[in-house]
Amino acid sequence: MSGTVTPLPARAGLLGKGEDFASIGRAVTGASSRIPSRAWWIAFAGAGGLLGVFAVTLAWLLINGVGIWHNNNPVVWALDIVAYDWWIGIACGALLTSAILRLTGASWRSGIDRIAETTAILAAASAALYPIIHLGRPWLFYWTLPYPNTLALWPQFRSPLVWDAIDIISFLGVCLGLWYVGLLPDFATLRDRAFEAALAEADERGRTRRLTLMKAQTYGILALGWRGASTHWERWLMATRTLSALALVLVVSLQTGASVMLAGSVLPGWHDTLLPVSFLAASLLSGVGVTAALTVLVRRALHLDALITERHIALMAHLMLGLGLASAYCYATEIFSGLLHGDAYDRAVLVRRLSGSHAWAFWIIVVFALLPVHLFWFAAFRRSGRVVALVGLAAAIGSFGDHFMLLIVTLSHDFLPSSAHPYSMGVWGLATLAGTIGLFLALLLLALRTLPMVSIAETRRVAESHRDGRPRGERAPVPAESAQARLWGVSAEFDDAGALAAAAGALKERDFGARIETYGPVPMRRVAESLGRPAGILPLLALGAALAGGLAFMGLCLYASGVDYVFDVGGRPRFSWPAFLVPSVSFGTLCGGLTALLALLVQNRLPRLNHPAFAIPGFTRASEDRFFLAFEAAGPRFNPARIEQALARLPQGRPLTIRRVPL
């Protein structure tokens, strides 16, 4: 009987040999101490230097305005929007990867989903600054949001400026929600290891150092009192899946929204119906590329070879190859359809893209994004972390060329020869880009130091628990067991989820005057099924909130633009609902995501920092490799002796220890 109760298919090669629950936890929790300190500080100094460049650039920008980026009249969207689209593309691609892998139940998400989500958050944070700083008066950025103002005006909901504001807020909300929910059990593991260290210190020296204790308590607060109850795990699965589904909707809305926004203009070259798909493919390629590069980095820097295996790297390489082919198909189709049925202007744009003054942008796409992925036809390159990382970074560089070509080459020349104006990248535009890269790297380095970069909970789901049969967490009997103190309940410790499930199944019908709860380091599907799984109301709540939020936002847009503040924009219809779809969908997913997060906490009665279950002897191991069955006293019929007897007489899967837990 294996330790996992929810076996995931095709787990071969996803974990080093001999890895079990405890070793996975130790590998991740101890990872930050294995970072080469000197290299980290050098890297951090470099990132800090780039952040300094960013600060200088922003100051110069505030003094002089967006002209320092060489934006001019036809090229109104220059490096600022190129970089924004590039970052948000990476963020979308990374988030979509994590969401799709979770929704399809791919077990190889174990090593990379946390890295993908972290990439998404950091890239979105870097992107989030652009819509603010590219405004002429960045300090009035809140004008893009609907709020009760003294101007008697509404924001222009047809404007991509408003879409960007809502999209970024929603993206950060949903992405942070998914990331944090995934982190909850991992924070609990970190908390328990830190608490064990504090206890060991207390035993050794008679007292605990303040810092050790603060570390444990910080992780404790971040974990919100997660204790791994089987019902909590079931809702956790629902919440992560719900958030993944919302993230999927959000990313599709955001990327296709960007292409629809371009199609809303009259400029030639932005109207191919394949554009939404090619946006998604290109964004996925860059997101997967950066995620793959970071996966290799995390694997090497944190020595996590056992948790992020060659198979993970090879699968990422496969994914990049597939996405590279899809991307190449999209570019080829665009060129083909331009030649086949485009008008003179379409063909002129095509010629400018391929051979104009900024043709390098197109060839960057070809050389950096479309060609290198073909190395992955060969297994040797798929197995090489270095090659995968380099190709991943190249894909990101190629994606920058894509956004440059799509925006700047198109904008610099419209229908009239007189409105063509050359554009050249200025040093300040590049400095701003370098600054946002510095922000990304600095936050990444801090994350490497403090956060579990590989999901402990997800990795354990592909692992076997190692049965050693030794009771752990043993200390001298607590007074409750010797004296007749008030009891919270009786607990039994197992080293195997199967035994726990058998015990729970055998005892659940007996009337002990007690409530049964089970605790463990992984989702315990069989236990939950035998004890009665919680109703799946969480996804419904989230769906309801998403629909209500989306409809409410659509209603707001329609009321504001069609009733309260009618404003003729180029003769567009009063109730131009298609234009309002993008922010409405984004806002809906934000509402759904926040509801999923809140529902998870409320239904699980979290946060609960102090809970009687934490007093179960050896309970810190519930986040490592032990499973606990607790009989919580409920009513006058509660009799600890009877429960202990029943536990000791179990036909199979006897507990390692049976303890009384004081109140």
Q: Give me the residues that bind other proteins (CB under 8 A), please.
A: 147-153, 191, 195, 198-199, 202-203, 206-208, 213, 216-217, 220-221, 225, 475-479, 607-610, 614-615, 662
Give the integer Cα–Cα distance in Å for 399 and 411.
18
Task: State the minimum distance, in angstroms, from the CB of residue 194 to other proteins.
Answer: 9
Nearer to other proteins, 11 or 608 (CB): 608
Task: State the minimum distance, in angstroms, from the CB of residue 518 to other proteins.
Answer: 20
Nearer to other proteins, 478 or 650 (CB): 478
Question: DSSP string covering 559-570, please?
Answer: HIIIIIS---ST
Nearer to other proteins, 165 or 320 (CB): 165
Task: State the minimum distance, in angstroms, from the CB of residue 610 to other proteins.
Answer: 5
Rounded to 5 degrees, what are φ and ψ at 225? Answer: 75, 30
Nearer to other proteins, 212 or 333 (CB): 212
Would you state the structure tokens that stand for residue 175, as one six-digit string? 């992405």
Task: State the minimum distance, in angstroms, from the CB of residue 220 to other proteins.
Answer: 5
Nearer to other proteins, 152 or 344 (CB): 152
Eight-class DSSP state of 373: G
Sign, Cα dihedral of 338, 339, 341, 344: positive
Would you state the structure tokens that stand for residue 143, as one six-digit string? 């004008």
Task: State the minimum distance, in angstroms, from the CB of residue 517 to other proteins.
Answer: 17
Peptide bond into 607 cis (omega under 30): yes
- Which residue is associated with the tokens 């009513």? 635
Nearer to other proteins, 112 or 213 (CB): 213
Task: State the minimum distance, in angstroms, from the CB of residue 161 to other proteins.
Answer: 17
Give the integer Cα–Cα distance in Å for 317 and 312.
9
Nearer to other proteins, 17 or 486 (CB): 486
- β-strands 487-494, 514-519 pairing: unpaired
Nearest C-alpha neighbor of 119 from the set 271, 357, 287, 361: 287
- Which residue is associated with the tokens 């934000």? 590
Task: State the minimum distance, in angstroms, from the CB of residue 611 to other proteins.
Answer: 8
Task: State the minimum distance, in angstroms, from the CB of residue 66 to other proteins.
Answer: 19
Which SS3 state, helix, strand or coil, does residue 632 take?
strand
CB atoms within 10 A of CB 435: 23
Task: State the minimum distance, in angstroms, from the CB of residue 183 to other proteins.
Answer: 17
Sign, Cα dihedral of 444, 446, 449, 453: negative
Task: State the minimum distance, in angstroms, from the CB of residue 546 to other proteins.
Answer: 21
Greatest extent of the chain over all pairs of C-alpha atoms, in Å: 95
Angle at 308 between CA 302 and CA 314, to 5 degrees: 130
Would you state the structure tokens that stand for residue 513, as one six-digit string? 């005057």
Task: State the minimum distance, in angstroms, from the CB of residue 659 to other proteins.
Answer: 12
Residues 6+ apart with CB under 8 A from 108: 10, 14, 101, 311, 312, 315
Nearer to other proteins, 392 or 617 (CB): 617
Nearer to other proteins, 12 or 140 (CB): 140
Environment class of residue 188 by beta-carbon count within 10 Å: exposed (0-12), middle (13-18) or buried (19+)? buried
Task: State the minimum distance, in angstroms, from the CB of residue 613 to other proteins.
Answer: 10
Eight-class DSSP state of 136: S
Give the integer Cα–Cα distance in Å for 138 and 145.
13
Nearer to other proteins, 206 or 417 (CB): 206
Give the integer Cα–Cα distance in Å for 102 and 104.
5
Helix or strand holding residue 517 (H, E): strand 514-519
Nearer to other proteins, 217 or 639 (CB): 217
Contact 82, 403 (CB under 8 A): yes
Nearer to other proteins, 199 or 335 (CB): 199
Q: How big is the chain, counted in residues?
A: 663
